[in-house]
Amino acid sequence: AAKGEGRNRFHYFTPSMQRYAKHRMRLIQDLRHAIIHQEFELYYQPIICLQHDTCLKAEALIRWRHPKRGLVSPIEFIAVAEETGLIIEIGNWVFQQAARQSALWRDRFGVEVQISINKSPVQFRDEGDSFESWAALLKSLKLTNNNICVEITEGLLLDNSQTISSTLATYRESGIQVSLDDFGTGYSSLAYLKKFEIDYLKIDQSFTRNLDSNGNDFTLCEAIIVMAHKLGMQVIAEGVETEYQRQLLADAGCDFGQGYLFSKPVPAEEFEQAFIIKAKENSEA
């Protein structure tokens, strides 16, 4: 519609832009509704210790049970939640839910499962507020011994490194660990790794996907693992789908693996059954 109506006239919306704008407005409305009506759920994916084949960690991944659309993936709504600031409320809910779940598993089964949550850079802009209430909840649930891990991405480290660095130090004091997610895909320089207090590097699944003992991706994984260990960090490989990948990573000294080989993300009850109750039975047998 914008074409052929004169050079100096501005038409901001083509039909496809209009459809997109409508879709987006609907999504924002629905997200607001979802926050109020608690339509979110956390799924849990095990993070397996490659040396002992045990599971004491899980990543919490959000799902949205939309009343009409069914289960919606975070890929579809996290970006919009970030742009609108709704991620702050969603992120606080994720944290509270994960903390309560870890306390519940501890109380019910006597097992401490460290739960990792993904924290968007937008949430760090609002820090002051949220951190004190997070720390208070951890204290009241007696979860101050690394029961929670926060996954950040490399982009955050470029943002405002002084503030971020002191925030991450505060985490450590409160017994929260920190993972660098999707490592190798962002823009951060290696110099950042020594500047920040980071406990785990998560090798992005794009490196794990094509692992082959003679390939470049394997060389990169090996180098990342050696470097991380020398800097006092442990390594989690994401996207482990095959036994071959698991074996290569374990041989290269990788500490943990996460991926469909072990399990896809599952609801809490399923995780409990497969990775907590079973593990207890095995250790008692």
Binding site for Mg ion (CB under 5 A): 118, 151, 181-182, 238
User: Rounded to whole angstroms, how far apart are CA atoms 45 and 277?
Assistant: 15
Q: Quick check: 260 binds ligand C2E (CB under 6 A)?
A: yes
User: Rounded to whole angstroms, how far apart are CA atoms 167 and 219?
Assistant: 33
User: Rounded to whole angstroms, how far apart are CA atoms 270 and 118?
Assistant: 21
Of 134, 157, 178, 265, the one binding ligand C2E by CB under 6 A? 265
Positions 124 through 183 that interact with ligand C2E (CB under 6 A): 151, 181-182
User: Rounded to whole angstroms, how far apart are CA atoms 118 and 45?
Assistant: 13
**Nearest approach, Cβ of 118 to ligand C2E (angstroms)?**
4
Least Cα distance to 263 among 241, 284, 231 occurs for 241
The residue (of 62 and 193) whose beta carbon lies closer to ligand C2E is 62
If contact means CB under 5 to 8 A according to the sort of partner, which of Mg ion, ligand C2E, none does residue 20 touch?
none
Q: Quick check: 114 binds ligand C2E (CB under 6 A)?
A: no
List C-alpha distances in Å: 243 to 54, 64, 208, 220, 246.
Answer: 16, 31, 12, 19, 5
The residue (of 194 and 267) whose beta carbon lies closer to ligand C2E is 267
Binding segment (CB under 6 A) for ligand C2E, from list 6-14, 217-225, 255-263, 276-284: 255-263
Q: Which two tokens stand for residue 285?
A: 């047998």
Q: Which two tokens stand for residue 232?
A: 């006092």
The residue to which tokens 């970030």 are assigned? 82
Binding segment (CB under 6 A) for ligand C2E, from list 113-121, 134-142, 155-163, 267-275: 113-121
Q: Quick check: 241 binds ligand C2E (CB under 6 A)?
A: yes
Q: Quick check: 20 binds ligand C2E (CB under 6 A)?
A: no
The residue (of 211 and 259) whose beta carbon lies closer to ligand C2E is 259
Q: b/e per residue, 113-146, with b = 16+ CB within 10 A?
A: bbbbbbbbbbbbeeeeebbeebbebbeebebeee
Q: Quick check: 115 binds ligand C2E (CB under 6 A)?
A: no
Residues that bind ligand C2E (CB under 6 A): 45, 61-62, 73-75, 78, 94, 117-118, 120, 151, 181-182, 205, 238-241, 258-260, 265
